[in-house]
Every structure is written in structure tokens, then in C-alpha cells.
Amino acid sequence: MSTTQHSAGLAGPELDEDYRDLVGTVRELADEVVAPVSASLDARHEFPYEIVRQMGEMGLFGLPFPEEYGGMGGDYFALALALEELGRVNQSVAITLEAGVSLGAMPVYRFGTEEQKGAWLPDLVTARALAGFGLTEPNGGSDAGGTQTTATLADGTWTVNGAKEFITNSGTDITRLVTVTAVTGVNEARRGPDGSPGKEISTLLVPSGTPGFTVGGAYDKMGWNSSDTHPLFFDGVEVPEANLLGERGRGYANFLSILDEGRIAIAALSTGAAQGCVDESIAYAKTRTAFGQAIGKNQAVSFKIARMQARAHSARLAYYEAAAKMLAGKPFKTEAAIAKLVAGEAAMDNARDATQVFGGYGFMNESLVARHYRDSKILEIGEGTTEVQLMLIARSLGL
């Protein structure tokens, strides 16, 4: 990897020509198509269907998938670069792409049968359809033992009962299925503190519109207002035995591996948000005057922005390294956790500081930094909280 220039003018690790071309293409989409409509979409809590369609036609949803399934034959790092550029200007659009790929299509690609891949991937990798991943429940997310959704198998049919919450891309007009983790039996190899056997958790593909599968109303969220997020309910939902995704009993373990990859993607999105706050602050500090000079002439402002850039730069280096290890086939769990931790905190800290640089204007919702301030908190929560990342890092240190 080599150096590419970011909009703030500082160099990061170098990219080869294909990656640079991709960054340029997505940056143009972000600046010319996404940014101009972002405030309006956010204010109306409107899902960006037209932008999703354009991203699908550009191949962004298919970046890390083979051409045989309709993908672009690229890799996960290419997806991360696209997410960084989109995250600069609109986190809702970026998370729609991230979840559509890493949580929607990737489980089918990683663990599906050839029949499942052939049935679902061509539409998912072109954004003609979206998929959600139903993991989190009121009492279970990071804690697999809290999973209460069940699936029982009888006469070649799975019957699913339970509920999921906070599921991205689960209620759009183009959502075609949700992958659901459910308790399918007991796991004698894993026992609780009281000696009782653990839960066998498997993963099932549940198509939208299946009788008994209900999508609840959209959440009224603090941020990510243009992203689609719903609770899901399963009341006697029946799907064929062939809808088991991957090996029975490996559902949660498989999803943890998906989360490791997804943390790199979220780190890239977070880096974009952090960089977007830097870019906005530089432009404002050069044009906003107070006491006869641009506010950027004041060290209190310029040093604040310098520290913001250091955070964005560090976050970028962290996710680049995690992606490099992943693509090289080396263990990357710890590096992904570090990248998620560093980048999520960089986005939140930079959003706070950018709002301070903008003063009253930073408190107005039409301001990009205000949207980043509202949006960035979830980057310290979703796909593994800050505390989960710290736990993973501590374990890698033998603690």
C-alpha cells in the first residue's frame, strides 16, 4: 500500500491505481449526488432509494463478491474505501451499503449452499434486493445465551418463534429476506455457571412476506435518520429445512466471524465521518471571521482541528492494517477490534469538536457536523460496543 491524498490534504498509506480510481469515483458520487440531498433526506427520515439504485448500478454492493454471482470481483478493502468516502457526507447511506453487504449478502456468500447463493446473491449484490441480519434481541445481542427466538424442525419444516430488534435494512420496499439466529437445541459442550447445557444456535433464511413474519414500525432514532431500522416478530413462521444457513449449531459462531469483517467496514465508515468533520471545520475556519480575522488563525481553533486530523489519520491507519491482515489470510480479530474502537471514538470526538468550531451553526440540523454529532454515537455501539472491543483486545493480551 502507498499514499493517497485525502480532502484535508494529508497523506495516508499508499493505494494502488485500482483503489485510487475507486476512491475517486465514490468521492464524486458522495460529493455530487449524496451530499446535496442529505439534509433533506435526514429531515424527512426518508430511505435513499434512488441513491441505493445508483450504488447498485455502480457495483458498490457487489465489490467483494465474485463475478459468477454478479459481483465486481474485488475485495473487502475496496468496500471499506467506498464506505469511508460515503461516511464523510452521509452516514445513513454508508450504513445502508455496509449492512447490505456485510450483514445481508455476506452471510449467504460465506455459508450458503450453491442453491442459496444462486437464489439470493444476484439480486443482493446489485441492490435489486436487500437483506437484514436478525441477531439482536431485547435480552440477547453480544450475549448469545440471551437468545430467546427458537426454531424447531419437524417433517422438513422449521418453525420460528420470537422477536428481533434494531435490524437494519429489514423493512424497505426492496427487502427480500432476513437471516435469523435462533435456538435450535442444546449445546452440551458449552455449559452455564450452574452447569446447565448451553444453547445450540443456528441461522435460518426467512423470506419477506412469509406468513407470521411481521416487520414492526420504524424506530424514531436520534440519528441515521435515512437508514431503515425495525423490530421483527416471528409467530409460527414456517420455512423449509433447506433454509438453514450453514451448519446447524454454528449460527452464532459464523455470525461472530461476519462481525470481525464488519468491524473493519464500520471502522472505515467511522473514519469517513471523522474526516468529514475535519473537512467541514477547515472550510468554516477559513471563511468565518471574528475580531477582524478568520477564526482558523486562532490557535484554539487551529489546534483543535489539528487534533481532529490526527484522530482521523490514526483511524485510517488502523482499519488499513486490519484489512491488510484479513486479505493476507492472517488472524485479524484483534486488529479489527482496535480499528473499530479507535475509529468509532474518532468519529464521536471529531463530531463534538467540529460542532464547537461551528458554534451556533453547528447546532442546526441542516449542518453536516450536527448530523455527524447525532449519527456518530451509534458507531460506538453498533456491531459490537466499545466495551466489547476492549474485552476482545484485553483477551488478546492474555488478560
CATH number at residue 198: 2.40.110.10
Between CA 234 and CA 347 the distance in angstroms is 36
User: Is residue 3 in a domain?
Assistant: no
Question: Quick one: 101 and 186 in the same domain?
Answer: no
Question: Quick one: 237 and 362 in the same domain?
Answer: no
326: domain range? 253-396
Question: Quick one: 266 and 374 in the same domain?
Answer: yes
Question: Quick one: 302 and 353 in the same domain?
Answer: yes
Whether 36 shows a pLDDT value over 60: the answer reads: yes
Q: What percent of the chain has pLDDT over 70?
A: 94
Question: Quick one: 273 and 380 in the same domain?
Answer: yes
**pLDDT of res. 192:** 66
**pLDDT of res. 142:** 67
CATH number at residue 285: 1.20.140.10
Question: Quick one: 299 and 331 in the same domain?
Answer: yes
pLDDT tens digits, residue range 151-200? 999 999 999 999 999 999 999 999 999 999 999 998 767 766 666 778 89
**Which is higher by pLDDT, 383 or 48?**
48
User: Is residue 321 in a domain?
Assistant: yes
Copy the grid coordinates of residue 359. 458554534
User: Is residue 264 in a domain?
Assistant: yes
Mean pLDDT of 216-223: 96
**pLDDT of res. 139:** 82
Q: Which residues contact 94 (CB under 8 A, 6 or more apart)?
A: 83, 86, 87, 269, 272
Domain boundary among the residues 92, 109, 124 is at 124
Question: Quick one: 382 and 279 in the same domain?
Answer: yes
Copy the grid coordinates of residue 345. 471514538
Helix (H, G, I), strand (E, B) or coil at 83: helix
Which listed residue (98, 280, 380, 383) is catalytic?
383
Question: Quick one: 168 and 242 in the same domain?
Answer: yes
Question: Quick one: 392 and 298 in the same domain?
Answer: yes
Helix (H, G, I), strand (E, B) or coil at 162: strand
Average pLDDT over the chain reads: 93
Mean pLDDT of 281-309: 96
User: Is residue 10 in a domain?
Assistant: no
Split into its structural domains, the chain has a count of 3
Between CA 215 and CA 233 the distance in angstroms is 6
Mean pLDDT of 271-299: 97
Mean pLDDT of 106-129: 97
Q: Are 347 and 340 within 8 A, CB to CB?
A: no
Mean pLDDT of 285-312: 96
Q: Which of 9-13, 218-222, 298-302, 359-363 has the lowest mean pLDDT?
A: 9-13
Active site includes 383? yes
User: Is residue 11 in a domain?
Assistant: no
**pLDDT of res. 8:** 37
**Which is higher by pLDDT, 274 or 193?**
274
User: Is residue 1 in a domain?
Assistant: no
User: Is residue 225 in a domain?
Assistant: yes
Q: What percent of the chain has pLDDT over 90?
A: 87
Q: Are 367 and 38 within 8 A, CB to CB?
A: no
Between CA 114 and CA 309 the distance in angstroms is 45
**pLDDT of res. 6:** 41
**pLDDT of res. 253:** 86
CATH number at residue 113: 1.10.540.10
Mean pLDDT of 379-387: 93
Copy the grid coordinates of residue 93. 447511506
Mean pLDDT of 390-399: 97
Whether 12 shows a pLDDT value over 60: the answer reads: no
Q: What letter would DSSP give residue 246?
A: S
Q: Which residues pair with 158 in a beta bridge?
A: 153, 239
pLDDT tens digits, residue range 245-264? 999 999 888 888 888 999 99
Question: Quick one: 153 and 221 in the same domain?
Answer: yes
Domain boundary among the residues 222, 251, 280 is at 251
Q: Which residues pair with 214 in a beta bridge?
A: 233
pTM, to two decimals: 0.93
pLDDT tens digits, residue range 307-316? 999 999 999 9
User: Is residue 8 in a domain?
Assistant: no
Domain boundary among the residues 189, 222, 251 is at 251
Q: Which of 46, 18, 11 is nearest to 224 (CA)?
A: 46
Question: Quick one: 241 and 196 in the same domain?
Answer: yes
Question: Quick one: 390 and 260 in the same domain?
Answer: yes
